[in-house]
Structure 1
Amino acid sequence: MKKLLLATLLTALAGCASTGGELPTQANINLKDYAGTWYEQARLPNSFQKDCAGDVQADYVLQADNTISVTNQCRTPDGKTKMAQAQGRLAKAVNPPDPAKLEVRFAPAWTSWIPMVWGDYWIMKTEGDYQYSLVGTPDRQYLWVLSRDKQADQAVVTRLLDYAASQGFATNEVVKTTQ
């Protein structure tokens, strides 16, 4: 009976583990250089962007305390602008801190002590001196291709998506963003 219980417990724990393995991130990220405006070129569909029809952009501002303020906006199907503001920080679980592994919170500031209000935001790869960025989550559920220009070089976008596929992301489900 003990062996059956142990086998059941180990099977349940294995089911909770990430199947993609460790997600590599871009080495030597400088958050000062990363800050600024980014335009979304592609993403894996997600519930919090379901109302975004196009013109998706994110503005990152590095704060004096090394946190990042984030303002996301997009155009909705009725032509209105939808905005969301967030705070970002270095991922607390990473020791030593890795500036490519960030956590972002869109919930109110008073909830910041609750671990589950923070979502992973890992900079997997950059190209062209911070002209392109590939961002994902270690569970492979969220993925974005960003560029500094509204109109991106599609060869670079494809190369970043190919890299994401090699890391276990379901890039066959990616939607391209209309800018």
Structure 2
Amino acid sequence: MIQEGCSFVGTSFVSFSDMKAFQVLLVLLLTAAAADAQSFHLGSCPQPPVQEDFNITKYMGTWYEIEKLPAMFERGKCNQATYSPLADGTVSVRNAELLPNRKINSIEGVAIVKNSSQPAILGVSFFKGVPDAPYWVLSTDYQSYALVYSCSDYFGLFHVDFAWILARTRVLTEDLISQLHDKLAAAGVNVNRLTVSNQTGCDVMY
């Protein structure tokens, strides 16, 4: 039954009240993203190229966060991620950070290659029943640096993205960081919004 004051969108009917509620929800989402300094943009997620012939075995081990786009779920310093192979072919993920009270905050999840023909594109899940988050390895030499990108699309109207410069050590040379900025910029990442991660005083993380 078609009610008065309805418009046809695609193959379904949506009432003006529903559209207004959706608009309010969208504004709230954008406001929340802005409040948490998230990196959000209009339109769908970009599709940057990823690492060719990615070798996930070489990628295993611990990576330290050098720079990142703002991420509301990171509240401490000394951020690091450790990846370990699991018997079923998936990857164990352990993210850890040092909170201001000197307590270690960590979370464990599982990463899975989404398509065997594109092993650099993974999905990471930390909670059962929650869709996994994209994890795209844009570039890495396995021994010193890695560039990681993640983007979530909301109704094709806007997207929120994250990017990380990771390293095998807690420091990275300025020359290499500059080169990685160029790679991120070429992938469509706004490098002006990158923040430097604090990797000092991390002795308790070992």
| TM-score bracket relative to the smaller structure | 0.7 to 0.9
Q: Secondary structure at the match of 1:33?
A: helix
State the shift of 1:137 in Å: 1.8
Judge conservation of contact 1:106–1:117 (CA < 8 Å) in 2.
no
1:172 CA drift (Å): 0.9
* Counterpart code for 2:92: S
User: C-alpha separation between the residues in 1 aligned to 2:198 and 2:86?
Assistant: 30
Distance in 1, Cα, partners of 2:123 & 2:196: 24
Structure 1 CA distance for aligned equivalents of residues 113 and 45 of structure 2: 24
CA distance in 1, matches of 2:111, 2:182: 27
Give the SS at the match of 2:179: helix
Give the number of aligned pairs. 156
**Structure 1 outlier segments of 4+, above 3 Å:** none
Local SS of the residue matching 2:127: coil
**Number of the residue aligned with 1:173:** 193
**C-alpha offsets along residues 131-165 of structure 1, whole Å, 9 cap, x if unaligned?**
21000024561100100111222221221122111
Encode CA deviations 1:32-57: one digit per residue, 9 max, x unaligned.
110001011011111111x12x2111
Q: Please give the TM-score of this superposition, normalised by the length of structure 1.
A: 0.78
Distance 1:19 1:37, change over 3 A: closer
Report the alpha carbon displacement of residue 16 of structure 1 after superposing the two structures with TM. 7.9
1:125 equivalent in alignment to 2:145: no
State the partner residue of 2:44.
18
Cα deviation for residue 117 of structure 1 reads 2.2
Point out the more displaced range, 135-144 or 68-77: 135-144
TM-score (normalizing by structure 2)? 0.69
Distance 2:93 2:113 in 1: 14
2:179 to 149, 159, 162: 159
Segments of structure 2 that go 5 or more residues without pairing to the other structure are 1-6, 11-40, 153-159, 200-206
Aligned with 2:59 (options 34, 38, 41): 34
Partner of 1:137: 150
- In angstroms, what is the RMSD of aligned CA positions? 2.2
Q: Which residue of 2 aligns with 1:84?
A: 107
SS in 1 for 2:106: strand
Whose strand proportion is higher, 1 or 2? 2
